[in-house]
Amino acid sequence: MAAFSNGAQLRRRWFFTLSLVAAIGAIAVGLALCQAVELKSLSTVSERVAAAKPFASAIRFALISLLALAWPWLPALWARTKGNDDRAHARWMALRWRVVGWLIIIELVLGQNLIGRFLGAISGPVA
């Protein structure tokens, strides 16, 4: 009977979590639709996106640094939930800077348009 109770608790927890995610998603879509109605011209949308870019970049870099700082505790958390051994923990710890490095490279190439800026600097101003 204890296994059934544990399964029921797990299902309840997943149901609550997914319901919360769905509610937050519905609120976010509603706010986005309200903003879309408010923004009537393409230039206004372009100005808002340009104004939000530094803030979005700061959030992405903050999340990457939070991942780098929280990484020592994450494998321990995963080990407790999945029962991993010390080798798996050491393997996850070895991946820390590789994952953070790739996230920074992806952010620089895609988020900061590093390649586009580099090619623009090489070619010079277009007449």
Helix axis angle, 86-94 to 96-106, nearest 10°:
30
Q: Are 30 and 76 in contact (CB under 8 A)?
A: no
Question: How far apart, in whole angstroms, are the C-alpha atoms of residue 22 and residue 68?
Answer: 29
In the chain, the N- to C-terminal Cα span, in Å, equals 77
Between helix 73-82 and helix 86-94 the angle, nearest 10°, is 150
Q: What DSSP designation does 84 have? A: -
Going by pLDDT thresholds of 50, 70 and 90, the confidence category of residue 98 is: very high
Tell me the mean pLDDT in the region 39-46: 72
Residue 95 has pLDDT above 50, yes or no: yes
Specify the higher pLDDT residue, 35 or 19: 19
* pTM reported for the whole predicted model: 0.61
C-alpha 84/C-alpha 99 separation (Å) is: 20
Residue 101 has pLDDT above 90, yes or no: yes
How many other CB atoms are found less than 10 A from the CB of residue 93? Answer: 14
Could you identify the residue written with the tokens 């639709």?
33
Alpha helices in 39-110 (DSSP H): 42-70, 73-82, 86-94, 96-106
pLDDT category, 78, cuts 50, 70, 90? confident
Q: 47 or 64: whose pLDDT is higher? A: 64
CA distance linking residue 35 with residue 26, whole number of Å: 14
Amino acid sitting at position 121: A
Q: pLDDT class for 1, splitting at 50, 70, 90?
A: very low
